Amino acid sequence: MKYYNNKPLLLTREYVNEEGTSYWSAYYNGKWIGYINSYALKNSVTKDTYFGWGENNARVFNTPNPQKYWLYNAPADKWVKRMTGYKNQKFTIKRSLARADGSLYYSCYIGDKWIGYINSWGFQNQ
């Protein structure tokens, strides 16, 4: 993977193994190059970066502590609402947002209604 350092990659689908480690399906110039451990992406993002999702886009917000999570409004760069009322809610994820601080957020929908960005840590072991 050294060849792809500092190259623009398209990350299309996230895979999380049984231990909770996250991997992204990566493409370079339209060619699939493999899965990349999400830890390898940390600190490689210098500005907000959006990733598209494929068909495997359903996730359940299953954290035991939903009160610790907030909906994030990326365009306004502010936190808008606690996630307490969404515990065990199934969301459709249409894209992800990687922040320069290493955090990852999912753009979450219920049906066709956009709910907001939710920290990926709220979706445990999926």
Instruction: Give the H/E segment covering residue 60.
Output: strand 58-60
pLDDT at position 43: 47
Question: What residue numbers bound the domain in which 66 lies?
Answer: 2-122
Query: What's the pLDDT tens digit per position in 48-98?
Result: 555 555 555 666 777 767 777 777 777 777 778 788 888 888 888 877 777
pLDDT at position 42: 55
* Residue recorded with tokens 């600190």: 43
The model's pTM? 0.55
Rg (CA), the chain: 14
Give which of 70, 92, 65, 93 is closest to 83, Cα–Cα.
70
- Considering its fold, how many domains does the chain have in total? 1
